[in-house]
Amino acid sequence: MKVLICASAADAIARAARQVVATIAAKPGAALGLATGATFAPVYAALVAAHRAGEVSFARVASFNLDEYVGLPAAHPQSYRSEMRRMLFDHVDIDPARAHLPDGNAADPDAEAARYDRAIAAAGGIDLQLLGLGVNGHIGFNEPSSSLGSRTRTKDLAPPTIAANRRFFPAGEEPPRQSITMGVATIMEARDILLLATGAAKAAALRATVEGPVTAFCPASALQFHPRVTVLCDEAAASGLALMDYYRGIDHGD
């Protein structure tokens, strides 16, 4: 893993956006794996700005989001499709037909999950997978104890994840308890992976991811087996890392 400790969250965000722009510059028809959530919202804002400045076009890009809630109408403001439209899709030139999320309302969620894995393969696999990090070490919605060999499937959300999501739903409306998420093995097939973690709340999970044993108890630790992972973090998220000086020494810029 290439662990890059940035001076600030803003630096980590700008660097993540630059890696996405560089990926598309090298391969205009790249397939991107996308994450929702607070960590990536400013990355998408930077990509929208780069698009408006004429620095990047998504016209030939395909995208595959990591996950979607089960049972939430696609048009619900908290569905991940709605979130992606607000953050990115509605503001860039991506072809909506190539902007994929699992269908959380599919009559047969298991068949939908299998179809999603096939769609990723049919697109030639993912060139750059963006990952946020759960405070419990999840990637996508692969909660602790998820099989490290898992494929896209339905997954019950862990109680801390449901609690963290509650703030996005109006009082009286229960947040979803299930998702369709890319599996750990699906994620591991991406050619490049960019994990972005900012803020002190991610420090323990980041340490377990980078320096802990590989264990299903921290699904992100499976990334230790991937040959091309960049971890971008700020000082707060890096604060639990033991080899901080080494990571600083290997950072030679973009």
**Which residues contact ligand F6R (rule: CB under 6 A)?**
35-39, 66-67, 132-134, 138-141
Closest separation in Å from C-beta 153 to ligand F6R: 14
Q: Which of 68, 104, 96 is nearest to 83 (CA)?
A: 68
Task: Name the residue nearer to ligand F6R (CB basis): 92 or 164.
Answer: 164
Task: Name the residue nearer to ligand F6R (CB basis): 134 or 176.
Answer: 134
Compute the distance between CA of residue 231 and CA of residue 129 in angstroms, rounded to an integer.
12
Whether residue 67 lies in the annotated active site: yes
Whether residue 143 lies in the annotated active site: yes
Strand partners, 155: 179
CB-based closest residue to ligand F6R: 132
CA torsion, ordered 134, 139, 145, 148, to nearest 10 deg: -160
The catalytic residue among 83, 112, 117, 138 is 138
The catalytic residue among 65, 67, 100, 234 is 67
Compute the distance between CA of residue 201 and CA of residue 34 in angstroms, rounded to an integer.
22
Task: Name the residue nearer to ligand F6R (CB basis): 62 or 237.
Answer: 237
Structure tokens at 136: 């419990």
Please name the amino acid found at residue 31: A
Closest separation in Å from C-beta 249 to ligand F6R: 28
Compute the distance between CA of residue 46 and CA of residue 104 in angstroms, rounded to an integer.
28
Task: Name the residue nearer to ligand F6R (CB basis): 38 or 111.
Answer: 38
Active site residues: 67, 136, 138, 143
